[in-house]
Structure 1
Amino acid sequence: MSADSHAASLPAAHKEFHDRMLGLLPSDRVFLGPFHTLALGDDASFYRLVPKIVVKVKDAGEVAWLLRAASDTGVAVTFRTAGTSLSGQALTDSVLVYLAGHFRGSRVHPGAGHVSLEPGVIGAEANVLLAPFGRKIGPDPASIGACMIGGIAANNSSGMCCGTAENSYKTVESMKLVFVDGDSLDTADPVSKARFAVTHAALLSELSAIRAEILADPELAARIRRKFKIKNTTGYGINAFVDFEDPFDILLHLVIGSEGTLAFIAEVTYRTVVEHPFKASALMFYPSIADACRATMALQTGTVSAVELMDRASLRSVEDKPGMPGFLKDLGPDAAAILVEVRGADKAELLARIDAALARVSGIEPLFPLVFMDNKDDYEKLWNIRRGLFTSVGGARKPGSAVIIEDVVFPIEHLAEGTVELQRLMAGHGFPEGIIFCHALEGNLHFVFCPDFADPVSVANYEKLINDVTSMVVGRYDGSLKGEHGTGRNMAPFVEMEWGRTAYALMRRLKRAFDPHNLLNPGVILTDDPQVHMKNLKSLPPVSPLIDPCIECGYCESVCPSRNVTTTPRQRITLQRHMALAAAKGDKGEYDLFHDAYAYFGNQTCAADGLCATVCPVGVDTGVFTKDYRRREATARGRAIGKWVADHYGLVTNLSRQGLRLSHAVHGLLGTRAMTAMTHGLRRLAPGLVPYWTPCAPKGAPKTCLRDTVAGKGRQVVYFPSCTTRAMGPSALDPDQRGLYEAVMSVLAKAGYDVVFPEGMKELCCGLTLESKGMKDDAARKAAELEGALRLASGDGAIPILCDASPCLYTMRCQVEPKLKLHEPVECIHDHCLKYLDIRPVDETVALHVSCSSVKMGLSARFNALARACAREVVVPRGIHCCGFAGDRGFFYPELNAAALADLRPQLPGSTTAGYSNSRTCEIGLSHHAGGPYQSIVYLVDRASRAKAE
């Protein structure tokens, strides 16, 4: 179905809105059709709504224009940043406005007391900006590595440490806003405020009137103050009416936590908070929940930064995980634990706070002696227990079931009894696997359970559980139905239950004052449908054991190189699940439609780098799934080609080398402009056959003399030059025109190593090239050949082995006998060679890119340390994860590489002389998009090193 056909099928209002969007935006930022809208419309909640139109916007001016069009046509819009929200507040069946990839401006104010952030900035990136000043933003949600500032502010996200004292509501200084009529306001600008006071006098007047009514009702005002002493994100933040008098201050704080229903946040300025450099943690075990809660209450008046409570079921869920202490299995049936963190500006303050914390709980008998750990490696092991709770349930759930994390808040004096009652309710309603953990200082209790929304019985049990939980939390304890996850759709029907008729009516009034026609995210926070929380429940049908554990949280998206060009791991899995449903229903037309579109958007532009697994709570590696998908999709011809390549690898490598030499010679004859025009023209004539060419393309590798060498120092290493090193030399623009082989040999010689080469080098390959294309059997065969050669050359693992390409080395570690000691260049030089080298840093600013394979091997810190030892200044651009070149994929899908590195060049100072990485193909794309050369870090080490006198 064509774009025109999809547009023609839209309702009249949406058709008019769509046509107006195409008058403003390029067509590649306006999406129609079930494939794109399903993929882009998903979020981390357990609901599924498919938007009619998805629009990607880049700046506040486009948002204003879009909102005017929405107001004129009466079309509802919903804003989306990272889509990590859990309560259904980033979903719509109307128009979804997508910000991810844009709105990434940031500015640290003088002194770092304030920071201004656009909504597309990831929370963790904001903290990276502030870290050099010893500051951070107040909110610290668990999803901070993936969620964005727009969502953090719009949901009033908090977390383990910020509580109610340092959340967005308490630390917001000002905002730039766009309203439903397209008008804007900068609450820090007197001129903007004066103009807004004229154009929106009715809105400001209504806010003042609501405030006056609340203050005239002492009982209501007191209730609002009382309920916001604990965490509360149920409904609107009507504490703004009692906390502030100026209508602009009220408006500013009402937008916090409003979930996109009142205005669009174009920028938020936060007051920053101190990030204490000294930390210590203790895991305290108690015989019962009651004892753990008594300890929490004792600590509440102290100087601890966080207390996380874990019930027995949650501890049981992680007791078999690697690295967990063995005594977890021996705990009694009612045991519980609290994880306590203290912080200090210096060691003395930290020790004083540890002593104070121990003194406060001294009257409560623990199961084991209490010990605080201040070594980062040690206390991180404790926090890994807490972090492992969610993954233990999400990863072990029955295929097809959802994983739900609800959060409620009890007054802390009722935390123990509320926890016990919630345990009983989950077990009684058919969710015995449910676990409970808690931001205990705030009484903010999270419970995790796994309903199967394809099973009517499970759906009914879920509804009964939610009804009983809401009645218990509100009716018995006057707690909050939401503490930090936002009201969304799943608690919208219960807002009036919690707040009462009068307060709820005032919330309705303020919504009408901001959004008279209910166009901003309707159905969220306030609803006329008492069953909205039970509609559009997400089905997660089994597809493959490789991706079935996915909970669609979206944590993977921040590191995915294709996130701004085609699809992300979460979206690929969503599409695969839809195809599985279509196949199960026998809907061949639907299946074929999605399958055909998936070829490019899901398969061909997946880098398969596996970085998604490094941030996935349940360890899903969509790259492994993509390789398996390519294997299943491979044609007989493709499999035959793969077998031929494996059988003739030396010839293929030689042909590649000769082809690169020919390309370089033609470039020399034609010049860059003609060469570019010719190759791009050939690509249009023969798509998929002619590789993308840039002036940064490598020349053919120089001839290498792979003979064993002896330095006479008694140190040995087996050196396996990768096939890229054997085929690809430097580009014409690279400052060092030696082949990588020569640079490696130079460093090894300076370090005094005898070098041994494996036999039959020209035919050897780790199998990565074949594996990435789904040729699993041929890849395994080549890996086995390589293992045999390396075993022989290394004396069955007696001699360490060096491979000069990080991706190849990572593949070898996954395929080859662990007894063989395998090292990539950074690891080998940092751990083995440096002690024999005299390093004299070059007086230059250099850029660094740590390849995804090095990240997965845990080498980022050593990579940085080695670069900083060899250069005066090292720049590591933020937000650049995988470069998107993905082996040879950058030659045939250059848009993937371009999208992944779009933010690279602006972050490189003009003084940068060169960039360094450890993957030859990555370096091609990095050089092209940085506008300056990238080479292996081995070249930098060679420049900076001399042989040390021994």
Structure 2
Amino acid sequence: ETLSSQISLIKKAIEVIPVEIPVHFTDIPAEYNLYWKIRKGLFPSVGAVRKTGTTVIIEDVAFPLHRLAEATLDLQLLFKKYKYNEAVIFGHALDGNLHFVFTQDFSTSEEIERYEIFMQDVVNLVVKKYDGSLKAEHGTGRNMAPFVELEWGAEAFELMKQIKRIFDPENLLNPGVILNNNAKAHLKNLKPLPPANEKVDKCIECGFCEPSCVSAELTLSPRQRIAVYREISRLKVSGEEPHTAAALVNQFSYAGDETCATDGLCAISCPVKIDTGKLVKELRFQNISARQAKTAMWIASHLELVTSSARNALSLVNFFHTILGTRLMKNISGGMRKLSGNRIPLWTAPMPSGAKKIMVNPEISDNPKKVVYFPSCINRSMGISKGYDSEVQLTDKMQQLIRKAGFDVIFPEGMNELCCGMAFSSKGFKDAGLKKSKELEDALWIASKQGSYPIVCDMSPCLYTMKENMEPRIKLYEPVGLIMEYLLPNLEITPLDEAITVFPVCSMKKMGLEDQLIQLAEMCASKVVVPETNCCGFAGDRGFSYPELNAHGLRDLKNQLPGSIKKGYSTSRTCEIGLTENSGITHQSIVYLVDKVSKSK
């Protein structure tokens, strides 16, 4: 009641103000969360439209509440006077608190002088004209430190310095950030944002991306990757400090490239959708040699031979695992990896056996219900792992479930040579990736009768890659999407009376299918636990070579899963290997769960 009354008063008070769209208050969480997201994105959004090479500056000031309106107009006049035409003002009006954001070029003395005079006028406006505060809610910072004495007076300023000397006699804590005797401190050590690569030049290093990054706190976050890459680019262009540039390039190889999952979750968190992974893929492309590119193209042209070799290798390794046991196998493989300088991929107990080759029997049927099934090259290579509750590999289980729902299964022609291209493009082999993507799209177009039938791929990451690269003329689904839209109407579900866990992989989050996975799982089990994590860090096959990334991404997983949970489900084969290893709970495709609890209607 009180809230409704206040809303009515506010509406009445502002009804005389001309607006672009009608003022609308909402109590719907989805709507007000979106409003907050827009509000939080104002700062980085200004950065996205700034001129490349300029720096985004944000300050927060406060005015006496009864003078807020006229002070806001005066602040706007200052922006106009100094030609900061892209500036944005927002904040917390009920507290008299205003944030303002603008962009500044620090590359010339004229621009720095413009900035100096503008800041002096802002200080005079806030302090002298309106008796306001130069800092409303955030820390003073180097930009306002030179003006603390003007705001508080010489006596109070001296008292502050005395207190500082008592607690920090060596001036070790944030020197010059709050108290600074240099009246020009805000014009020193200016940080430019030089052009580096168009994929990330819009970044203002706000850090919104960092909570979504699996490598943050292990090596670098997206913001840090961009900052280091900018410095490398600046040093290369200027020719300054060649030894520093060489050292940064060397360190960036592991911290910036090798431990980047390139999962794209940073783009979801970024208000302007900057995907740092695309920069890393571009750098990988630039760094590959002609010989490496030739090798990748050979593999792309002989994929059936390569996957067959992978199946045989996995079966051989699994044979030794059976003979030697897990502990001895882990010690031997770990020793070999160490001796090789970590060039040999890490073996773990969830490593699967080799898959059996898919036997394609052309189905001649007048059944109009058909699904085109493209088994990913990963699942054509990898069979079941120890701990599975089924002896049937995923490629067979997928067919069984589709047929159980009353659909015929169609395989694309030349299936064993087909691949979505992600295995190549993610490593920088653009040409090989595009070649495989185009081959697959052509084969699927024919198999689906020019888009008449739905197409399913058994790996969410592969399906995401297909959607990114292929024309929307064909209907592409990963397992959850196909099950929910096509198979469930023809299946009777008897849910398990037990707790399970599901892990939505990055590609599902990017496609907006996370809720669908959870909804499907809740139809199949009495309790579903979804851990609070982002990317698992396996990143395709990267978890085999850089297991520390996978372990870091899932460092809190085990503690989030109750002991009553015995099974986990997801939609990416390699991610499931890492999830099993780091949780102690066998993870497998959600297809196994749906098949287990369903029967034909």
TM bucket (normalised to shorter chain) is: over 0.9
Give the direction of change, closer, same or farther, for the CA distance of 1:946–1:509 in structure 2 (3 Å limit).
Answer: farther
In structure 2, relative to structure 1, the CA distance for the partners of 1:710 and 1:415 (3 Å cut) is farther
Instruction: Verify: 1:910 aligned to 2:563, yes or no.
Output: yes
Listed as ranges, the matches of 1:344-423 within 5 Å are 354-361=7-14, 369-375=22-28, 386-423=39-76
- Which residue of 1 is the match for residue 500 of structure 2? 846
Q: Paired residue for 1:296? A: none
1:867–1:874 contact (8 Å) kept in structure 2: yes
Distance, in Å, in 2 between the alignment partners of 1:754 and 1:367 is: 54
Deviations 1:536-557 (A, max 9, x none): 2112221110111111122222
CA separation of 1:387 and 1:751: change in aligned 2, threshold 3 A: farther
Residue 453 of structure 1: CA displacement? 2.1
Q: Which residue of 1 aligns with 2:125?
A: 472
Give, in whole Å, the separation in 2 of the partners of 1:657 and 1:579. 42
Partner of 1:724: 378
Partner SS for 1:479: coil
C-alpha separation between the residues in 1 aligned to 2:158 and 2:568?
60
Aligned-pair CA distance for 1:679: 1.5
> Are residues 1:875 and 2:529 paired?
yes
Instruction: Choose the corresponding residue for 2:160, options 507, 528, 531.
Output: 507
Number of residue equivalences:
600
Q: Is the 8 A contact 2:44 2:206 kept in 1?
A: no
Determine which of 419, 424, 441 is the counterpart of 1:770. Answer: 424
Q: How far off is 1:356 after superposition?
A: 4.5
Contact 1:430–1:461 (CA under 8 A) maintained in structure 2 = no
Distance, in Å, in 1 between the alignment partners of 2:304 and 2:256 is: 32
Paired with 1:593 and 1:361, the residues of 2 have a C-alpha distance of 58
Of the three residues 479, 482, 488, the one matched with 2:135 is: 482
Q: CA deviation at 1:387?
A: 4.8
Find the counterpart in structure 1 of residue 148 from structure 2.
495
The 1:366/1:663 distance shift into structure 2, 3 A limit, reads closer
Q: What is the percentage of aligned positions where both structures have the same residue? A: 49
The alignment partner of 1:450 has SS state of strand
Pairwise mapping of residues 425-574 of structure 1 onto structure 2 (< 5 A)?
425-574=78-227
- CA offset digits 1:616-661 (Å, max 9, x no partner): 2322111111111001000122111111111111111111111111
Q: Does 1:594 align with 2:248?
A: yes
1:837 maps to what in 2? 491
1:677 aligns with 2:331: yes
Q: What's the counterpart of residue 755 of structure 1?
A: 409
Task: Write out aligned runs for 1:191-230 (5 A).
Answer: none
Q: Paired residue for 2:481, among 804, 821, 827? A: 827
Q: CA deviation at 1:375?
A: 4.7
Map Cα deviations across residues 407-439 of structure 1 (whole Å, 9 max, x no partner): 212223322222222222123224222222232
After superposition, give the CA deviation of every residue in 1:93-148 in whole Å (9 maximum; x if it has no partner): xxxxxxxxxxxxxxxxxxxxxxxxxxxxxxxxxxxxxxxxxxxxxxxxxxxxxxxx
Write the distance in 2 (CA, Å) between the matches of 1:566 and 1:466.
37
CA deviation after TM superposition for structure 1 residue 383, in Å:
5.4
The residue type paired with residue 473 of structure 1 is: V
1:899 aligns with one of 552, 558, 582: 552
Deviation at 1:822, TM superposition (A): 0.8
Deviating above 6 A after TM superposition, structure 1's stretches of 4 or more consecutive aligned residues are 710-713
Return 5+ residue gaps in structure 1 as ranges: 1-347
Q: Compared with structure 1, are the counterparts of its residues 519 and 372 closer, same or farther at alpha carbon in structure 2 (3 Å cutoff)? A: closer
TM-score normalised according to structure 2 size: 0.94
| Code of the aligned partner of 2:571 | N
User: In 2 relative to 1, CA 929–448 (structure 1 residues): closer, same or farther, beyond 3 Å?
Assistant: same
**What is the alpha-carbon distance in structure 1 between the residues aligned to residue 101 and residue 232 of structure 2?**
28
CA distance in 2: counterparts of 1:532 and 1:359, whole angstroms: 46
Look up the SS of the partner of 2:383 in the other structure. strand
More strand by share: 1
Map of 1:607 onto structure 2:
261
Distance of 1:431 and 1:910 partners within structure 2: 59
Deviation at 1:704, TM superposition (A): 2.4
* 1:430 to 1:615, Cα distance in 2 relative to 1, 3 A: same
After superposition, the Cα gap between the structure-2 partners of 1:367 and 1:665, relative to the gap in structure 1 and judged at 3 Å, is: closer
| Residues 379 and 677 of structure 1: CA distance in aligned 2, closer, same or farther (over 3 Å) | closer
Are residue 629 (structure 1) and residue 283 (structure 2) matched? yes
Q: Distance in 2 between matches of 1:444 and 1:530?
A: 25
Q: Is residue 764–residue 785 contact of structure 1 (8 Å, CA) maintained in 2? A: yes
Report the alpha carbon displacement of residue 505 of structure 1 after superposing the two structures with TM.
3.9
Q: CA deviation at 1:792?
A: 0.7
Q: Is the 8 A contact 1:695 1:733 kept in 2?
A: no
Per-residue deviation at 1:801? Answer: 1.1
CA deviation map 1:727-750 (0-9, x unaligned): 111211223332112222232223
Asked whether the 8 Å contact 1:735–1:933 carries over to 2, the reply is no
CA RMSD of aligned residues (A): 2.3
SS in 1 for 2:370: strand
Aligned to 1:694: 348
Question: Do the aligned partners of 1:710 and 1:754 also contact (CA within 8 Å) in 2?
Answer: no
5+ long unaligned stretches in structure 2: none
After superposition, residues 154-303 of structure 1 pair within 5 angstroms as none
1:656 and 1:875 map into 2 onto residues whose CA distance is 34
- Correspondences of 1:49-198 after superposition (within 5 Å): none
TM-superposed CA distance for 1:520, in Å, is 2.6
Partner of 2:311: 657
Residue equivalent to 1:704: 358
CA distance in structure 2 between the partners assigned to 1:652 and 1:352 by the alignment: 70
Inter-CA distance 612–364: structure 2 relative to 1 (3 Å threshold): closer
How high is the TM-score relative to the length of structure 1? 0.61
Supply the AA of the counterpart residue of 1:787.
Answer: E
Amino acid at match of 1:754: D
Distance 1:555 1:365 in 2: 33
Q: Is the 8 A contact 2:371 2:410 kept in 1?
A: yes
Task: Report if aligned partners of 2:502, 2:530 keep a CA contact under 8 Å in 1.
Answer: yes
| Paired residue secondary structure (2:60) | strand
Q: Is the 8 A contact 1:395 1:618 kept in 2?
A: yes
1:797 correspondence with 2:451: yes
| CA displacement 1:509-535 (0-9 Å, x = unmatched) | 443454444333232222233332222
Aligned equivalents of 1:693 and 1:365: distance in 2?
A: 66
Q: Distance in 1 between matches of 2:19 and 2:423?
A: 56
1:604-625 deviation digits (Å, cap 9, x = unpaired): 1111111111112322111111
The alignment partner of 2:58 has SS state of strand
Aligned to 2:434: 780
Q: Contact conserved, 2:44 with 2:204, CA < 8 A, in 1? A: no
Distance 1:664 1:630, change over 3 A: same
Tell me which protein shows more helix as a share of its residues: 2
Distance change (3 Å), C-alpha of 1:544 and 1:755: same
C-alpha separation in 2, matches of 1:535 and 1:734: 62
Structure 2: distance between partners of 1:390 and 1:363: 28
| Partner SS, residue 101 of structure 2 | strand
State which drifts further: 616-625 or 698-707.
698-707
Q: Is the 8 A contact 2:55 2:103 kept in 1?
A: yes
**Aligned-partner residue type, residue 596 of structure 1:** N
Question: How far apart, in 2, do the equivalents of 1:368 and 1:612 lie?
Answer: 31
Q: Residues 724-772 of structure 1: CA distance to partner in whole angstroms, max 9, x if unpaired?
A: 1111112112233321122222322232222222111001100000001
Aligned to 1:244: none
SS at match of 1:699: coil
How far 1:454 sits from its partner (Å)?
2.5
SS of equivalent residue, structure 2 residue 548: helix
Change (3 A) 1:852 1:364: closer
Q: Is 2:557–2:583's contact at 8 Å kept on the other side of the alignment? A: yes
- SS of match in other structure, 2:384: strand
Distance in 1 between the 2:250 and 2:453 partners?
Answer: 50
